Chain A
Amino acid sequence: MSGLFGTLSIALSSLAVSQQQLETSSSNVANASTAGYSRETAVTEAGAPIRLGNLVLGTGVVLRKIESLRDPILEIQLNQATQQQSDLNAQLAQMQQLQTNFSSATSGIGADISNFFNMLQQLSPDPSNLALRQSVITAAANLARDFNSAASNLTTQQANLNLTVQQSVGEVNNLTTQLASVNKQIAVLENAHVDASTLIDQQTNIIRQLSSLIDLQVIQTEKGGIEVATAKGTALVSGDQSFALSTQTGQNGNTHVFAGTMDITSSISGGSLAGTLHTRDQEIPNFLSQLDQLAAGFSNAVNVASAQGFDLNGVQGTSMFSTPPVGVTGAAATMQAVMTDPSLIAASFDGTPGSNGNLADLLGVATQQVANGQTPIGAYSNLVFQVGSATSNTSADADAAGQILQQLQDQRNSVSGVSLDEEAANIIQYQTAYQAAARVVSTINSLLADTVNLGLGAAVQ
């Protein structure tokens, strides 16, 4: 369009665009602290020029779109880093709890083992002394009790983790439902060619929260929607449909995670669910098994040595500890010191009350290989080492994962974060542009008045 009205409409388009740019900046500033917000820019371009004979005239400015600035590669990396960190943090919390069972060198199972052998050793110069014998009985009872309580603490921790698994699965299901509904809304808006940035930020946020719970991959479909599945391919969300996970109690009393009828418990590889499951199904059973082997090996060796001697009444020695269960599992939880009468301790070599000859056999258990080719104290100190190094390794890994996550967040912020300085500079710019365009409008206004007044006597102002 040519002529003054054409110029006017160009100026008006400039005013409108400046206004929208100001709106965008203002929205960025308002959301400067909003978590997961991606800053928006108003993308403008020159309007399509028109030809008039040999002349090409501009038609003003057009607002192309309001663009959210985000980096999709960074989003993928952030999701993976979140999964990794949540996995390790979940494991670390559990390991720190687990290791409190093995924290003291002067009390607990190790000290009890030392004390049991020491009390036996005290009998050596005076084997028929009932008070000294009673100390052995007491030491045996303390040892069995500490084995029981360590095993019980570990199994209780395992049981609590079952509850955690159920809760996590519930949260996953909540999030996938939310995600499906957000996807639906996005699809509607995008079909209507309306800017869906806020919803996409919400979508990103939900996916990030899901990443802290479970491992996942996000797949873009051709229609522009997204599908979310676990790393091994179990579908969680497909467009506007979500697929809930369920939990069932397995044979060993542990909670298993199911997708429909398929048990996916052992294929979850990220997020806090993975960490929880790893601790429950690998770490705790490993340490429980070592405790069981030690309890069983120790009990058997002491009982065998006892049977080779004679008690204070000249009768052949009987078992000091309960016989461990076949297959060793549960030995630590069920260990009992069954000999309660001090006169039954089989210190004697030949049945005479003053003989200490069988003490050498009983004390020999301290240097015998009773569990995993190690002596009782050797096996226990090795267990302490393993628990300690598993915890400290997990701690170091969690720290590293946390730092990686932090760096990725920083990178994301450098792309998508709102900089107040930048917005202020932009606002100055848009304000000036608006003022200039307004000035153009008033100039055209007075030109129009002049035009109207052409050839007239009295002036229209």
Chain B
Amino acid sequence: MRINPNQMPDLLAALNQSKLITQEAEMQIATGRRVNVPSDDPTAASLLVQNNDQATFNAGYLQSLGALQGQLSTADSTLGSVVTALQQAETLGIEGANGTLSDADRAAITMELQGIQSQVMSLANTSYEGVYLFAGTITNTAPFVVNNNIPSGVGYVGNNGVNQVLIGNGYQLAANVPGSQLFSASGNDVFLALNNLILAMQGDSGIEDAVGQLSTAASYLSAQRVFYGNALSQAQSQTTYLNSAKLQITQEQNTLAAADMAQAATNLSQSQLDTQATLAAISKFTQNNLFDYIR
């Protein structure tokens, strides 16, 4: 059987092929990536899009959790200050109930109480980065305003809205308690109690009852404050979870996209050997034919 006398195209094709493999291996090592275009691995390319989506949302949730935690801890510590102020008012009230005080003494106490009253109102109007924390969802304006037409002396112009904040896939956390529920709940109205105490102190009558009312309102407020503590700890747990999920997502991305360096290095040295061998074969190829031997 007569063989193909022109082997050159085959050798050149083989050379081309091994150079192509060399190039691919070099590309993987240089970029560290196995999937540079979708055709390198269509399934992986498609999964990488989804992986990036997960990574984006994960990072996003962590960021909003940061913002949320800022709000929650500000609200929490503000309420702590309010409770302290109310306890101070109680102490003053008990002191004022002592029958041995003079009018001037009671007047002094009244002034302090009034100071506490405006402090509490100011605390109830706390804002965090431009957002009023105790206004429900009308957060662009101070929720508590002076209103001398009502017994408590302080009116609420916020609403009852509660925002649910998304902190994970399908995971929502209530982010606030409306100010009306905290400060002016019926039967536990902090401002009413404060105002009544002031009036009682001024009139030197019913001070003990007023102190009792204030104490009830303060306990109620303390109980409401627990919401923020709970929300903070849930936010913290979620942050921990998201951080570990982030590691998993990154790991998955590596599995999908990263080049196996050891394999790529092996491929590279193998294909370089192949190239050398093919080049040597080609150079030997055209050396000898019968014409060389005909004198």
Interface size on A, residues (CB 8 A): 66
Binds B, one of A13-21, A145-153, A249-257, A386-394: A386-394
Known contacts A354-B139, A425-B290; is-contact A114 B57 (Cβ 8 Å): yes
Query: What is the chain A residue whose CB lies nearest that of B2?
Result: A414
* Cβ–Cβ contact A100 & B71, under 8 A: no
Q: In the complex, A126→B164 CA distance in Å?
A: 11
* Cβ–Cβ contact B166 & A363, under 8 A: yes
Nearest 6 CB-CB pairs, A to B? A388-B38, A354-B139, A388-B42, A424-B290, A391-B39, A385-B46
- The verdict on B5 contacting chain A, using a C-beta distance below 8 Å, is yes
Q: In the complex, A336→B4 CA distance in Å?
A: 63
**Which chain A positions have C-beta within 8 A of B13?**
406
Binds B, one of A101-109, A182-190, A200-208: A101-109
Q: In the complex, A388→B131 CA distance in Å?
A: 48
- The verdict on B61 contacting chain A, using a C-beta distance below 8 Å, is yes
Q: In the complex, A381→B47 CA distance in Å?
A: 7
**Closest beta carbon of chain A to B89's beta carbon, Å:** 30
- The verdict on B52 contacting chain A, using a C-beta distance below 8 Å, is yes
Binds A, one of B62-70, B184-192, B193-201: B62-70
**Which chain A positions have C-beta within 8 A of B41?**
388
Contacting A420 at CB < 8 Å: which of B63, B129, B138, B290? B290
* Cβ–Cβ contact A125 & B130, under 8 A: no
Binds B, one of A115-123, A163-171, A226-234, A315-323: A115-123
**Closest beta carbon of chain A to B32's beta carbon, Å:** 14
Within 8 A of B (CB), among A92-149: 95-96, 99-100, 102-103, 105-106, 110-111, 113-115, 117-118, 121-122, 124-129
* Cβ–Cβ contact A114 & B52, under 8 A: yes
- The verdict on A80 contacting chain B, using a C-beta distance below 8 Å, is no
- The verdict on A369 contacting chain B, using a C-beta distance below 8 Å, is no
- The verdict on B60 contacting chain A, using a C-beta distance below 8 Å, is yes
* Cβ–Cβ contact B131 & A121, under 8 A: no
Interface size on B, residues (CB 8 A): 59
**Which chain A positions have C-beta within 8 A of B114?**
none
Within 8 A of A (CB), among B35-78: 36-43, 45-53, 56-57, 59-61, 63-64, 67-68, 71
Mark A378-413 against chain B: 1 for CB-CB distance below 8 A, else 0. Answer: 101110111111011001000000000010011101
- The verdict on A273 contacting chain B, using a C-beta distance below 8 Å, is no
- The verdict on A352 contacting chain B, using a C-beta distance below 8 Å, is yes
- The verdict on B152 contacting chain A, using a C-beta distance below 8 Å, is no
* Cβ–Cβ contact B10 & A385, under 8 A: no
Within 8 A of A (CB), among B193-237: none
- The verdict on B266 contacting chain A, using a C-beta distance below 8 Å, is no
Within 8 A of B (CB), among A354-374: 354-357, 359-360, 363
Query: What is the chain A residue whose CB lies nearest that of B41?
Result: A388
Q: In the complex, A124→B60 CA distance in Å?
A: 11
Chain A to chain B contacts (Cβ below 8 Å), 14 pairs: A110-B49, A121-B57, A122-B60, A122-B63, A124-B165, A124-B166, A352-B137, A352-B138, A355-B137, A360-B166, A381-B47, A392-B42, A418-B6, A421-B290
Q: In the complex, A289→B15 CA distance in Å?
A: 41
* Cβ–Cβ contact B9 & A99, under 8 A: no
Q: In the complex, A278→B291 CA distance in Å?
A: 51
- The verdict on A309 contacting chain B, using a C-beta distance below 8 Å, is no
* Cβ–Cβ contact A353 & B139, under 8 A: yes
Contacting A388 at CB < 8 Å: which of B9, B45, B140? B45
**Which chain A positions have C-beta within 8 A of B5?**
413-414, 417-422
**Closest beta carbon of chain A to B36's beta carbon, Å:** 7
- The verdict on B136 contacting chain A, using a C-beta distance below 8 Å, is yes
Contacting A100 at CB < 8 Å: which of B37, B57, B130? B37
**Which chain A positions have C-beta within 8 A of B51?**
105
Of the candidates B6, B36, B71, B289, the one having the most CB atoms from chain A within 10 angstroms of its own CB is: B6
Task: Using A128-B130, A355-B161 as known contacts, list a sample of 14 further A-B pairs with CB atoms less than 8 Å apart, ordered by residue number in A.
Answer: A102-B45, A105-B49, A121-B60, A122-B67, A352-B159, A353-B137, A354-B136, A354-B140, A355-B137, A357-B163, A387-B38, A391-B37, A413-B4, A427-B294
**Closest beta carbon of chain B to A142's beta carbon, Å:** 13
Q: In the complex, A417→B4 CA distance in Å?
A: 7
* Cβ–Cβ contact B289 & A420, under 8 A: yes
* Cβ–Cβ contact A377 & B53, under 8 A: yes
Q: In the complex, A426→B13 CA distance in Å?
A: 31
